Structure 1
């Protein structure tokens, strides 16, 4: 907000999603009082692992995604959950997975969430973002698309993601999403010892692709990743990552 014009700030504050967030904050303060950190009567953001289906075999996948689980919800129940979240004035839904773009229920779920004036984002590996998908994301009103890329080197990313050609398809997906100019696009990297020395290159690559954001995720050795605990960063490496991110934050 601090780097925007008065008109831009006013527009954001008047958006339906922001109004929902302001209402939730006021209800929370009325219920709990001012606290630090502030307690909320409902979560402002819900991250929803929408499906377990995935087309990649990522070595670090915390969900051990792959096949659809028998207990996954029907579309009717998914839409009912969005109704419940909306009644509680949840501000934002982040659809994740698995690979959310593999679930046909994603589109009606997004449309429902937008109808309820929610901020909607998806986390995807980017490989399924065709021109048609990139356009459809704009049509349904997605606010933010986050695409994973763990190396500037094709072979390294493909090996980590367990699928040949994943890097090339992900980069194409990023370019197609950015070209829509209808929603924000972010590049997200899970930082491990495998790509620790690439952090600045990853940030520069993200900038060159025209993305709006770059995220450096902490590696959590659970799920498939429990066998890769040796890839976790040392405390000194983690400190260097934070310093690098802070440097770019100040420059941008």
Structure 2
């Protein structure tokens, strides 16, 4: 058998490469899971932009936001079980869970919950169960709607935001007060500029009212092509987010998450 000796330079390179591999450290990876309604989910909320633009490669980002869900129906349909399974995946040094509900817990929604008791109890259960899985829950107050009257933002979600704040205080969970931050931002924009955050453009006959600081009633989606928990990607409304709105709100979430959980700062891009 003929043996060919490797040139000395190549042999030295292989030895060095092996030494480098021997010195490589295991990745120190963490995970963040987004739990919530359509204002969190991909295509209608801030979650897609957050995962796509604001996490570094050492932080896995899983968006489990679902359209049309409340604190009750998210659990009833099994989405919370999926989130719990994600929390239990081995290999991550820490798992964070951002939890944002409120829009579909309001009266008049088919998934509504009772504000004084059921809504906060559901949030506490999410916090307790996430911690039982070894995860770190972060509560998020609901994203503001963008409806104006005479130049003033009409705040219909403050009682639900306050309930989230109260549960955060009682449980010691970190809090992102997205309702306050987004409300301040939208008020500073005014009705016309804030309308650009929607998934679609406002109808032309809305423009004069928006310029005057008022928000005409948004047209309803065509029910024949949307499922019970779906919406049209290009519908104009005052709740959901298009690409521009998603980027703006995702930046707020990233900024305030760093303040609420400073240990995540090295893994986030503000």
Instruction: State the TM-score bracket (shorter-chain normalisation).
Output: 0.3 to 0.5
TM (norm. structure 2) is: 0.35
Larger Rg: 2
TM (norm. structure 1) is: 0.37
Which has the higher relative contact order, 1 or 2, with Cα contacts under 8 A spaced 6 or more apart? Answer: 2
